[in-house]
Structure 1
Amino acid sequence: MQLEDILSLDGIKLLSSSSSKKRLFHDLGEMASATLGLSSSAVIEALTERENLGPTGVGGGVALPHARLEGLDRVRGLFLRLDKPLDFESVDRQPVDLVFALLAPENAGVQHLKALAIVSRTLRDPGTCAKLRANDDPSTLHTILTESNASQAA
């Protein structure tokens, strides 16, 4: 599995600001509806339920919200870069400006875990995060994410 299998160009967006985690999940729900044909409310509810189990802010300004949903045939990703960092109750207590949401079929099993590992490994690299923060073009962001992942897999 590669990031390019999970993340399409239309699944990348820059947000000038999001006032709260709840608002961010609404933004992700709208993106999932527009790009994946999923119910916005179902995505919001699933992400919120998972987040209630424990914050998905993994540190370094990165959050990896994830959920399992009906209506998906494979694991899919959405990436947001926030101009204004948001409190995400991260493990390092730093605000988040890079958000990679993973949405998986309810029965994804190991594929969901593999996708989380790939995304986590990619966004744990400070160089990759610096490049993501320095670029505003969704196409460039997609290239940074997918090339970084491909070089790590090699």
Structure 2
Amino acid sequence: MNISQILTPEATLCSVSLSSKKKVIEKVSEVMAQSINCHAEDIYESLFAREKLGTTALGHGIAIPHGRVEACTKATSVLLLLDTPVDYDAPDGQPVDIIFAILVPEQADAEQLKCLAEIAKVLSEPSLVSQIRHAHCGDALFEIIEKAALKQE
């Protein structure tokens, strides 16, 4: 699995202004709904239900919200870089400014795990995280992720 197979430039947003974890999940749901044939409310419910089980924040200002929706036919993702970090109940207590959300079909357990592992691996590189935080637009942010994904192959 290559991240660039599930992320598009249209779903890569920079300098997004949101005030809470709830607003982040709402925005992610709206962006995902535009790229797949699924209702934003269904996506929101899936992502929020997962957050209720425990935070998807990894620490160091990064969160990977994820969920499954029956109407989803293929894995998709959204990458947001927030202009101001929000409280995300992270284990290290740090607010989150990088959100890399994933949605997969209802029965795609293995695919979801592969996506999570790949994204976590890419976002574990401090120099890459620094590049992400200094991106000036969505296209630049997408290019950073695309290059990082190619190096992982």
Aligned residue pairs: how many?
153
- 2:43 maps to a residue whose letter is V
Residue 150 of structure 2 corresponds to which residue in structure 1? Answer: 150
Deviation at 1:99, TM superposition (A): 0.1
1:25 aligns with 2:1: no
* In structure 2, C-alpha distance between the alignment counterparts of 1:44 and 1:136, rounded to whole Å: 27
Residue 115 of structure 2 corresponds to which residue in structure 1? Answer: 115
Residue 59 of structure 1 corresponds to which residue in structure 2? Answer: 59
- Within a 5 Å distance, the mapping from 1:4-23 to structure 2 comes to 4-23=4-23
Counterparts in 2 of 1:16 and 1:79: CA distance versus 1, 3 Å:
closer
* In structure 1, C-alpha distance between the alignment counterparts of 2:74 and 2:16, rounded to whole Å: 30
Counterparts in 2 of 1:16 and 1:7: CA distance versus 1, 3 Å:
closer
SS of the residue 1:82 aligns to: strand
The superposition leaves residues 56-109 of structure 1 with CA deviations (integer Å, 9 ceiling, x where unpaired) of 110111000000011222211100000100110111111100000000000112
The superposition leaves residues 22-79 of structure 1 with CA deviations (integer Å, 9 ceiling, x where unpaired) of 1111111111122223201111111110000000110111000000011222211100
Deviation at 1:15, TM superposition (A): 4.2
- 1:126 maps to a residue whose letter is P
User: Identity percentage over the alignment?
Assistant: 32
Deviation at 1:16, TM superposition (A): 3.7
With normalisation by structure 1, the TM-score equals: 0.95
* In structure 1, C-alpha distance between the alignment counterparts of 2:140 and 2:16, rounded to whole Å: 18
What is the root-mean-square deviation of aligned Cα atoms in Å?
1.1
Deviation at 1:14, TM superposition (A): 2.3
- Within a 5 Å distance, the mapping from 1:37-116 to structure 2 comes to 37-116=37-116
Counterparts in 2 of 1:73 and 1:16: CA distance versus 1, 3 Å:
closer
Counterparts in 2 of 1:6 and 1:16: CA distance versus 1, 3 Å:
closer
Residue 34 of structure 1 corresponds to which residue in structure 2? Answer: 34
Q: Name structure 1 gaps, 5 residues minimum.
A: none
SS of the residue 1:18 aligns to: coil
* In structure 2, C-alpha distance between the alignment counterparts of 1:44 and 1:62, rounded to whole Å: 19
